[in-house]
Structure 1
Amino acid sequence: MNENEQEIDLRELWQVVLENKKTIAAVTAAFVIGAGAYLLVVSPTYQSTSLLRIKPQQSLGDSILSSMPVGSDTQIKQQMNTDAEILKSRTVVEPIIKEVSDPDKNGDYPLYEEYVKGHIVTKPFKDTAILEVDVTGKSPEQAQKANSLLVKGFLKRLADLSRKEQQATREFLQQRVVSAKSELDTAESKLQDFQTANKIYSTNDQMKGLTDQLSLIDKTKAENQLDLETAKAALNSVNGQLGSAGQSIADSPAIQQYKIQLAQLEETKAGYIGKYTDEHPKMQEINRQIQQTREALNQEIGNIVSQNAPSSSTVQQGLLADKFKNEAAIAVAEGKNKALAQLDARNNIAIEALPEKERGYIRVKRDADVAQEIYIMLAKRLEEAKVAEVMVPNEVQIVDAATLPEKPVKPRKALTLMLALILGILCGTGCTVARSLLNRKINTADDVEQYLQLPVLGMIPDAHSISKEHQHRGRNIREWMERIRQTIWKK
C-alpha cells in the first residue's frame, strides 16, 4: 500500500458520529431554526391560473393555399408559441406592472424583464391546444388581478394587430373596387353600344356555348390573378418585416419540388375547365392529388422554419413560414396562368372562325362579363374585410378565467423544514467526519508506526484513565466486601 494512502475504517467513522451526536444535533437544530425564521420573514407568493384555447389563424379570402390543412401539430405549436410571446410582450405587460405593483422608495416600478421572469409562466396544458397562463402575486387578489389584466391586454393586442392587418386589406380592396367599378361601367357601356349599333341582343347555341366557356375561364383567370397580386403584396410585406437575414433564407429542394408538382397539378386541373364537372372521377382524382401535395408542402415548410429561422423568436418563425407559403402561392398562380393562357389561345382560334359581327359581340360581352366577375369578387372580399376589421379575433378563447388562489405556492413550509432537517444532518455529519479525517494528531501506537516509522517499545498509560480505572476497581472491591459482610451477618 502507498505510504500516502490512508485507510478509512467505517466502524471508526460511525464511532466518531456517535461520539459527536450532540454536535450534529446542534447543527441540525440550527438549520431548522434558520428555516423557521426564513418562513416567518418571507412573504407568501400566490399563483393565479387561466386557460386559453389557441386555434390556428385562417386568412380571409380564397387564397390558393387557403385550403391547406390547418390544425397540424407543427402549426398549433407555432401558433401557441407566437401567442405566448405576444402575451409577454412589453406592450401587454408594462401597463400591468404599474397597475398591480407598488413603486419602491425612489418611485420606480419593477423592470419589465424581471417581472416577466419572476411572475409570468406560459406552457401548453397537457399536450393540448390550450395555453396555461400562470401569474404570481403577493396576495390572492393581486395574482388574480394581474392574470385577468394580462389576458385582457393580450386579447386587446391581438385585436389591434388583426385590425391593422384587416385595415390594410380593406384599403387595398377599396382601391381595387373603385377601379373595377369603373372598368365594369366602361365594359357594359361598350356592350350596349355594340348591341345597339349591330342590333345583336341574343346569341345562337354555338355562340352561347363558346361564351359560357369563355366566362368560366375568365372568371378563373380573374380569381387567379387576384390571388397572385395578393400573394405578391403579402410577400413584400413579410420580406420587409423579416429584414435582410430572413429574406436571404432560401427554401429547401423539397419545397421547390412540391411547388413545381403543385403548379403542374393546378395546370392540369385548369385544363379540365369546361370539360369535366366537379363530380367527374378525373376532377376528383386531381383534387385528391392537389390536397396531398399541399399537405406535404405545408409539413416541409414547418420543418424548414424550425431549422433555419433567423432567430428563436416564434414571430420570426411565423414570418418565415408566411414567406415560403406566399412564394409557393405565387409559383402555383403563375403556373395556372400558363394553362389558362393555352385555353385562351384555343378559344381565340374558335372565335376567329366566327363572322365579324359575332366576333365583335363575343369580345365586348366577354369584357363585360370579366369586369362584372372581378367587381363582384372584389366587392364580396371588401365586405368580408370590413366585417373582419371590426370583429374581435376568435383564434383565442378563454377556457377558464383567472382563478383566485386559496393557498400560497411559495414558500412550501413542510418541504422547507424537511430540507432544512436533511441538510442539517448531512452538514453536521459531514463536518464531524471531515474534522476527524483531517485530524493528524498521533493518538495510538499504530499512528506512531504509520506516520513516524518507529518501533513502539512501550506505552505510558493515561493518568486520568488509570485514576478512573482505580476508582472504579476500588468501588467494585468495596461493593464485594459489603456483600460478604451482609451475608455473614445474616447467618
Structure 2
Amino acid sequence: MTTKLNLREWATYLGVIRRRWIWVAAVFFPVSAAVAVTVFFLPRSFEADALILIERREPLMRKIPGGYDFDQYLLTLRQMMMSETNLRAIASKADMDLGKNEKALRGLVEKLQKTVSFRNKGRDLFEVRVSGDTAQEAYVLAGTVSSHLVETSLAIRRREAGVAYDFIQHQLENFRNKLQEAEERLKFFKAEHVEEMPGTENTNLSRLQQTKTDLQAVQLQVRELAEKRTQLKEQIETEEPMILATTDSAPAGIRTQQMEAALAQALLTYTEKHPDVARLKAEIAAAKAAMAKGGKGAPTGGTGTTAANPIFQQLRASLAAVEADLAAAQAREAALNARIGDYRRKTVSIPEAEQKYRQIVRDVDVTAGIYSNLLGKLEDARIQKEVEIKDEGISLKIMDPAKLPLHPAKPNRPLIILIGVLAALGLGGAIAVLRELLDRSFRSRQEVEEELHLSVIGAIPEISTPSEDRRSAQRLRWAVVGTSAYLCVLAGVAGVELARQSGIFR
C-alpha cells in the first residue's frame, strides 16, 4: 500500500512538472543568465600576502626583568601602520601618489585603510594581506607594506623605550623630593615631640610620680619655713632695736644677749621642744633673774650707754634668710606644679601624637616603597632602551615575501553562478507550485473520487484541438531557443573567464 502511495505521489509530481514546466523555464533561464552576465561584470579583487616573523633574542630579552609585552607592541605597530602618515608613505613608495591631488590622496588613504589587514598566524608569525584591483597592484602594495612595517618597527620600539625611560626618570625625581620632604617632617616631629613618642608612656608616668613626690617634699618645706618666719616675726616684735647698757651690769647683760642670740640661731634649726632650745631658755631666764636680783638697791646714777640690740639684729638676719629660702621653695613649688601639668598634658596627648607619628611614618614608608619600585623600573627601562638602541631586542623579518597572485580572490564566479542557478530553479519551481495550487481543476479519477466521495463511472481523455497543438509546438520552439541562448551565454562567460585566467586579456 505504501509503495502504491509513493508511486502516486511521484506521478503527481511528474504531472505537475509536465504541466508547469514552461513556468519553471520562463523563470530559470532569464534569472540564471542574468546572474551569469552580472557576475561577469563584477569588479575583480586580487590579494597578496606576506608572512612576517617576530625574532626574539631571548638571552638578551631576559635582561629586562619586567619582560616585554609583545601583544601591546604588535597592537601599537598595527595602529601606527594604519595611520594616515604611514599610509601616505606606503603610497609614495609604491608610486601610487603620482599625479594625484590632495583629495585623491585622501581617497587613496581611505582605500588603503580598508584593503590592508593584519592577521595572526601563530605565536611569532603574522600575515600582512593587501587587496588590489589588479594582481600587480596587490603584489606591489603587499611588498611595500611589509618592508615599511619592518623599517617602522625599530623606530617604534626605540621611541617607546625612550619615552618610558624619560617618564620614569621624571616620576623618580618627583618621588625623591616627596621622600625627602616626608623624612624632614618625620625628623622635625620627633624633635618637637620627643617625650610624646610611642613607648614613652611609662617614662612620663614615672616622671610624673617622681615630680609629685618632690612637690610634696617642697610643700612640706614651704610650710616649715612659713612657720619659722611667723616665729621670727613674733620674736622680733618682743625685742627692742636698741638697748641701754650700764658699766656695772655690762658683762652680765652681754652674756644674756649672747645666749638669746644663740637661742634665736637654735630656733632656726630646731623646734622649741629640742633639749638645746629648752636649756638655752632656762639659762637665759636664770641670767635675767640674777641680773634683776643684783640690781636691787644699787645706785641708779651709774654710767650707761645705748647700743644696737644684737638679738634684734640676729633675728632680722634670720628672718631675711628664712624669707629668701621660703621664696626659693615657693618658686620650686610653682616649677614642680608646672612640670606636673606638662607631664599630664604629654601623657594625655601621647595617643594623638602617636597617631600623627604613625601617619607620617606610613607616608614615609609608602613614598619610600614607590621610590624603590621606580628605581627598579628605571633600571629596567634603561636596559630596555640600550637593547633597542643596539637592535638586540625583538625584530621583524619577512619570512615569506609577497607573490604575484594568479587568480582573483573576489568574486568567486563559479560559486555565485551556481548559487544563481539554484536560486532561479527554486524560484521557478515555487511559481510552478503556486500556479498548481491555484488551479482547482481535477486531473484524475482519484482526485474526483477523493473530493466528491463518489465513484467515477468513466473518464474522457484530454482531447487537444489544432490550435492547442500549435501553441504547444510554439512553446516548445521557444523553450529550445531559450535553452540554446542560455547555453551560449554560459559558454561565453566561461570562455571569457578562461581567457582571463590564462592571461590572454585582463
What is the TM-score of this pair, normalised by structure 2?
0.39
* Greater relative contact order (CA < 8 Å, ≥ 6 in sequence): 2
